[in-house]
Amino acid sequence: MMVSENLPSAPADRVLVLTRLLDAPRSLVFSVWAKPEHMVRWFGPKDFSLPFCEMDFRQGGKYRVCMRGPDGTDYWLWGEYREIVEPERIVFVWDRDEIEGQPNRTIVTVTLEEQGNQTKLTLHQAIFLTTEDRESHNGGWTECLVRLADYVAGLA
């Protein structure tokens, strides 16, 4: 089942797609997305921590996390897992506080492909309310994926 919110007709300037090659097997990369004890070690931009991470990792399950910035500001995220296909795909709702009275909800799809002993990760997030919000997430996810790469390489 594909998630209808990830429509290919979304305006390109409000869609984020990032790809990264990780030095770890696909099953390991999937596992670190699926377990809170791993998520707290890598999730979030550089110098952020994850002091709260609650996950019911199953289709229809909910999650809630708090990312704490280096200045002590807390950023809460929550949502629902829409699709989980082990070890190749995770689709989840990404909810945050409203922006100017509008719901701030996007859909994140993480796809994992085997590339020999490595894993090609593709992250797709859409549809952002503004291009500025997309660019902010581009920076945050880019730093987050660097942390993920370092973490899984250390475990592999």
> Does the global pTM surpass 0.85?
yes
Q: Provide the 8-state DSSP code for 12.
A: G
Residues 8, 140, 66: CA angle, nearest 5 degrees = 105
Distance CA 2, CA 82 (A): 9
Percentage of the chain modeled with pLDDT above 70: 91
**Once rounded to an integer, what is the mean pLDDT over residues 1-19?**
70
Q: What is the mean pLDDT of the chain?
A: 91
Distance CA 149, CA 140 (A): 14
Query: With bands split at pLDDT 50, 70 and 90, how would you rate the model's confidence at 101?
Result: low
Distance CA 107, CA 128 (A): 9
> Above 70 in pLDDT, residue 99?
no
**Once rounded to an integer, what is the mean pLDDT over residues 103-108?**
89
Instruction: List all residues 6 or more positions away from 54 whose beta carbon is below 8 Å from its beta carbon.
Output: 36, 63, 64, 65
Question: Structural domains in the chain?
Answer: 13-155 (3.30.530.20)
Query: With bands split at pLDDT 50, 70 and 90, how would you rate the model's confidence at 102?
Result: low
Structure confidence by residue, pLDDT tens digits, 12-63: 889 999 999 999 999 999 999 999 999 999 999 999 999 999 999 999 999 9
Helix (H, G, I), strand (E, B) or coil at 120: strand
Edge-to-edge strand list for the sheet holding 74-85: 16-22, 118-126, 102-115, 89-99, 74-85, 62-68, 49-55
